[in-house]
Amino acid sequence: MSKLVDNLINNNLIPLKPYESARRLYSGGQDWLNANESPFSNHYEVDSSNFNRYPSCQPDDVVENYARYAGVNPKQLMVTRGADEGIELLIRTFCTPGQDNILICPPTYGMYAISAETCDVGVKKVLLNDDFSLDIEGICNTDNVNVVFICAPNNPTGTPVAKSQLQTVLNHFANSALVVVDEAYIEFDAQSTWVDALADYPNLVILRTLSKAFALAGLRCGFTLANEPVINALMKVIAPYPIPEPVAQIAATALSAQNIQRLDEQVNIINNEKQRLTDALAKIDEFTLVGDTKANFVLFRYGQSAELMAYLVSKGMLIRDQSKQVNLQHCLRVTVGSPEQNDRLLGLIDEFRSQTGASK
């Protein structure tokens, strides 16, 4: 860093490194099974006739269409630049820098901690139990917390969160913290949504995205669902023009009745492929499946995970190494791809095992 930058930079940013997103780690590759994206690429068209104008802060048709899709009132919803912006806005709106904390339950999605750290907000960690359920006692014994992040289904373990556990957490923090349920992968386990509980819990917040089942990771469009007072507070912090006009047009189209039917069909296909991939990985002697498969990925443990990862990368097959996450030593996460990609992955694993002399 230059001397000027060294002198000026926010002190709390000095120890931080940029988030190692899947796309930052590997820019090349042929098969991308490392970011839990959809294998489907759907076609959209945009109308550029209004591109000389600033867009609406919260485009009406996107708000209305998503509210209808999710079964909430449009006033209970905010559109953001991906669910990641929702995470950051929640922290900036409800935590005072240098003073307040969020609570996370690792192993889990990395952006909760990164966003908090960049905002100089503390991160309290209560590890998941060995079976990846919530450590309720640990969570309820943690004080001075303003926002609790719970990912369900959890990334990278693919596990759901039991209803009774979440109810306990919501009740425990009823008067002291927001409980944010990150439902980025909810379409793959649709009946587990917490959307119907919004009316019962003023402290419940739900995060959603178009990046996963909707096959629009490149669009950067997400949603925060909550009761009106929470949404109104977040509106104080969101940028004036957060949703670019082309994003709004495509998001509104993706949320039409016809395209939601297509979404359901694509989710079915991915869930069927997930079962096939899971069965095939489970049959490999030295592999142990880890967690559950409620999302669009499979997690497994393998003693030679580092060597296998390097081999797959050398063949342009990108998956995600999770072995640095707490309690996930030697674990690799594979996004469910197209049937061809999944077959290629299984073929490469087979090849690697024969080269290293593993039994068939």
d(CA 355, CA 348): 10
Among 90, 151, 181, 234, binds ligand PLP (CB under 6 A): 151
- Sign of the CA dihedral with 9 first, then 96, 147, and 240 last: negative
Tell me whether residue 295 or residue 348 sits nearer to ligand PLP (CB atom): 295
Tell me whether residue 37 or residue 349 sits nearer to ligand PLP (CB atom): 37
List the strands of the sheet with 297-301, edge to edge: 288-290, 297-301, 331-335, 320-321
Tell me whether residue 79 or residue 145 sits nearer to ligand PLP (CB atom): 79
Q: Does 189 bind ligand PLP (CB under 6 A)?
A: no
Tell me whether residue 78 or residue 184 sits nearer to ligand PLP (CB atom): 184
Closest CB to ligand PLP: residue number: 82
Tell me whether residue 165 or residue 304 sits nearer to ligand PLP (CB atom): 165
d(CA 185, CA 155): 9
Tell me whether residue 22 or residue 349 sits nearer to ligand PLP (CB atom): 22
d(CA 156, CA 300): 10
Residue 315, helix vs strand vs coil: coil
d(CA 214, CA 190): 13
Q: Does 292 bind ligand PLP (CB under 6 A)?
A: no
CB of 155 to ligand PLP, least distance (A): 4
CB of 152 to ligand PLP, least distance (A): 9
Sketch the per residue contact string, 24 through 43, with ligand PLP: x for CB under 6 A, - otherwise: ------------x-------
d(CA 83, CA 139): 24
CB of 195 to ligand PLP, least distance (A): 16
Place of tokens 């450590």: 135
Token pair of 118 as six digits? 């960049």
Which of 286, 279, 289 shows the shortest CA–CA distance to 333? 289
- Binders of ligand PLP among residues 230 to 249 (CB under 6 A) are none
Q: Does 109 bind ligand PLP (CB under 6 A)?
A: yes
Among 31, 84, 187, 273, binds ligand PLP (CB under 6 A): 84
Token pair of 276 as six digits? 């096939």
Among 39, 55, 59, 82, binds ligand PLP (CB under 6 A): 82
Which of 87, 102, 162 shows the shortest CA–CA distance to 129? 162
CB of 79 to ligand PLP, least distance (A): 11
Among 34, 58, 65, 155, binds ligand PLP (CB under 6 A): 155
DSSP string of 251-279, one letter each residue: HHHHTSHHHHHHHHHHHHHHHHHHHHHHH
Q: Residues near 79 by Cβ (< 8 Å), separated by ≥ 6?
A: 58, 59, 62, 63, 66, 221, 222, 223, 242, 243, 251
- Binders of ligand PLP among residues 166 to 185 (CB under 6 A) are 182, 184
- Which of these ranges, 76-84, 163-171, 196-204, 306-314, lies near ligand PLP under the rule CB under 6 A? 76-84
- Which of these ranges, 81-89, 134-142, 196-204, 280-288, lies near ligand PLP under the rule CB under 6 A? 81-89
- Residue type (1 letter), 300: F
CB of 276 to ligand PLP, least distance (A): 22
The residues binding ligand PLP (CB under 6 A) are 36, 82-84, 109, 151, 155, 182, 184, 209, 211, 217, 222
